[in-house]
Each structure stands twice: as structure tokens, then as C-alpha cells.
Amino acid sequence: MNKGKSFLKSLIFTGNWNYENMQGSGFRYLLEEINQANDLGIDHKQLSRQTEYFNTHPFLVNFVLGVWFKEFVREGQPDYFKKVYSSALAALGDSFFWHSLRPISFIIAAFFGLMNPVLGVIMYLLIFNFFHFIFLYIGFDMGYVLGKEVISWFNRIKFNKWSGYSDFITSFLLGVLLSLGLKEYGMETITYYFFATCFLLVGFFIAKKLDVLFSLIIAIIACLIMLYVKGG
Amino acid sequence: MSYLALLMIAGFSSVDRNAAFHIMFSRPLVLSTIIGLLFGNVYLCFLSGLLIELFGNIDVPVGTKISKDDTFLAYSMGILVSFGIIQTLSDYLLGLLLVIIFVLPVTYVDMLTRKWNQHLLDKYLKYRIYKSPSGIIVKGITIAFLKGVVIYNIFCLIAAFILVRIEDYVSIQGDITAYIFLMSSFLAGYLIRFLSFKSVYKYIVFTVGLLLGWLVI
């Protein structure tokens, strides 16, 4: 199998994301590639069944694919483990990649970006895609070698704890970034610091109660009122 | 040539967000800074990206949820800043307000593109089930690209048009950066609540960071 080609295809498999089969079309698209490359001779009926509902975290799809093939080759239960692993890895992947890796990549990039915006962009792309590409690249092999025991690999690297470690660092760096921003780039007046503290506390208290879009609209209107009252 | 580059950026960022690659080109901090690099005012574009990225990190695409289109937000703010439509602090705040309101229809278009993908799938299942689904995947990516090129630019132009009309009547100078960090502190309060780390420690660590940042830097 051409790993490079398979990796590139897994970058676009979400092209037909929809409400009916979610990433099902993409999963079959990836299966066809591996089926052809390995001359496995999976029949059309089996392949067309793979267009059914499938949803996982897009960066971990190759693990599910590897497990499916392993089970298929040893005549086990490929579809059963596909279901089990797609939902398990969706939860693990969402928690790490979206909830934790994105914020930490952003915070680190923001620090570098305050020195030089280009450096910030480079850092963001490097940090995030390091994990993104590695998991996509090794996913199939891991899934295929370990088969239905692939979860043991995630347990071994303590993947479910990565979010916690990452959020710990993000919380600290977010505090430092905010201090840096307000002190270096804000106005050196007590009124300004008072309002910044109020904004922070209001953010704390209304988070999870009010949608962020509407609360940001309210925050902008508050800033506009402050500006017009102050007159610049 | 530069306008063509802009259209390509809009299209590619929409694809990166919705359909393929997911290399984070569509993230506000990245997208806004790149627009600033290409068309000017990179530093303010970067700071706008920083603010919008905080917003985007709160509203994440978990499961079937369609998160608010912060890519559009960053794209539009990048253009408004880079092309000099935003000149004063009041322009900046009004521009941000307008673009945020337009996020709602743009996000709705995301839902429509998924329904369109569903329509493509239905046709595929009916007529081409034994063939590879590569065709509907490529079509899905093309739709996402067109969505970026057309929808992002239409709403951005409307925002620019309204802003130019308003700024004739209202224009107040001020420190844009200071206000960006003021709103950032509001969003930081939000973000810290959404981090999945044990509550008490999370606030302690955040406060330590805040104090250390203040005292050391």
C-alpha cells in the first residue's frame, strides 16, 4: 500500500460530510483505495454496505480503517469493531484535538505572534499539524497491527490524559497572555483595568449560560457605549 | 491578481474548514494574519485574529454540531482592516458587530451545503452505488470552495458597504488594541470555563498565570 497516497486521501475523505451517513461516503472512499492497493478482492456488495452511517474524529479515521481491515482479513467482525471504534475515537479525538490542542496551539502562537505575526502563524500550523499528521500517518498501521486491541495503544500513551495536561498549560498561558496584553497593549488607567476585570468576571459567570455569539455582541455594544460616553 | 489571490484564500479557507485538509489554514489567527501579510496592516489583522480565535475556541465543532463560522469572521475583519475600510476605533467596533451578525446567515449556509451533500449522496446511492464515491467527495469539496468564494465575499462586501455609510456619521478615534484586549479578557473568561480541566485547579492556575504575567513581564 502506498502510505503517502493513503495519507493524502485521508485528508479529503470528509468532502461529502452530510446528515445522512455523516462520513460514510468518505470511509468507503478510503476502503476502496486500500482494497485496490492490496488486491484484497472485497466484493461490491460488502463495499457498498460501507457507505452506511459512519462518524468519527477525522484525524483518527485511519485507526478505524486499520482495525476494519485486520478484522476483515482474519474473518472477524469488521463492521462491529468499526462501530465501536468510530464512536470511541470520536469522543477521544474531539476532546483532544478540538477542546485542547487547538487552544494550546493558539495560545503559543499568540505569544510568538506578538513578537512577530508571521512566526505566530508558523507556530500555530507546526504545533497543530504535528499531531494531526502523525496520527493520520501512523493510524492505519497501528489499527492493522493491533486490530481490535488498538485501544490498548491509546491507553499506553495515556491519550485520554493529554487533554488535561494540555488544558493545564493553556489555563496558565492564557492568564499570562491576558496580563501581557492588558499591561503592554492596553491603556494605563485604573478605569481601563477595572473594566477589563469586570469583562473577565462577566465572561466567567455567563459562560455556559449564554451563547458566545450573543454575549460577544453584547460586549461589543458595551464597548461602543463606553466609547461614545468617553468620546474617544 | 491580488483579488484573484483573495478569492482563492476565501475558497481554500472554506474548504479547510468544512470539507477537507483541516490543516488549520481556516483558523482566524492564521487566516487573518495571512490576509494582513498580503494586503497590509498585518499587526492589526493579527490582533483581530487573536480576538476571533478566542471566540472560535469556545464554539467547537463537536459531533454533528455546526460551529459558528469564525473563518468568515476572520476573513471579513482581515479585509476590512487591510483595505483601509476600518480607520478608527468606532469603525472597528461597528465593523466587528456587523460581521458577527452576518456570521448567522453564513453558518446557515454551512447547513445548506451539508443538505446539498446529502442530496448528492441520495443520487449516488440510487444510481452509482457500485462505483467509487470519489465523485461526490470532489463535488462536496467544490461546493465548499464556492461557498467561500461567493458567500464570504458577498457578506463581506455588504458589511463594507454598510460600514462606509455609517462612518460618514459616526467616527471616533481611539486605541483599537486596548479595546481588542478588553474584549479578549471577556472571551478569556468564557474560554477558561470551557477548558476540560478540574475546575478549582483551573482557576488557580489561570490566576497564577495572570499574576506572574503581571509581575514578571
Tell me the pLDDT tens digit for each residue of A78-115.
999 999 999 999 999 999 999 999 999 999 999 999 99
- Specify whether the CB–CB gap between B82 and B9 falls below 8 A: no
What is the mean pLDDT of the segment spanning A118-139?
97
* Residue A81: count of CB within 10 angstroms of its CB: 20
- Chain B nearest-CA distance from A218, in A, is 9
Pick the more confident residue, A47 or B31: B31
Q: What value does the mean pLDDT of chain A take? A: 93
**pLDDT beyond 90 at A40:** no
In this complex, do B183 and A220 lie within 8 Å of one another by their Cβ atoms? yes
**pLDDT beyond 90 at B200:** no
* Radius of gyration over every alpha carbon of chain A, rounded to an integer in angstroms: 23
In this complex, do B205 and A11 lie within 8 Å of one another by their Cβ atoms? no
* Largest pairwise CA distance in chain A: 75
Cβ neighbours of residue A111 under 8 Å, at least 6 residues apart?
A120, A173, A177, A180
Please tell me which residue of chain B has the smallest CA distance to A103.
B57
So what's the pLDDT on residue A35?
A: 86
pLDDT-derived band at A1, boundaries 50, 70, 90: low
Contacts across the A-B interface (CB distance below 8 Å):
321
Q: What percent of chain B has pLDDT over 70?
A: 100
Chain B contact set for A98 (CB, 8 A) = 60-62
Coil, strand or helix: which one is A54?
strand
Give me the torsion for CA of A122, A123, A126, A130, rounded to 10°.
-170
Rounded Cα gap, residues B77 and B196, in angstroms: 30
In this complex, do B179 and A227 lie within 8 Å of one another by their Cβ atoms? yes
- Specify whether the CB–CB gap between A113 and B36 falls below 8 A: no
Tell me the CA distances in angstroms from B104 to A122, B101, B153, B155, one per residue in order: 30, 6, 15, 11
So what's the pLDDT on residue A3?
A: 84
Single-letter residue type at B35: I
Tell me the pLDDT tens digit for each residue of A184-217.
888 888 999 999 999 999 999 999 899 999 999 9
So what's the pLDDT on residue A232?
A: 61
Tell me the pLDDT tens digit for each residue of B11-43.
999 999 999 999 999 999 999 999 999 999 999
Pick the more confident residue, A38 or B80: B80
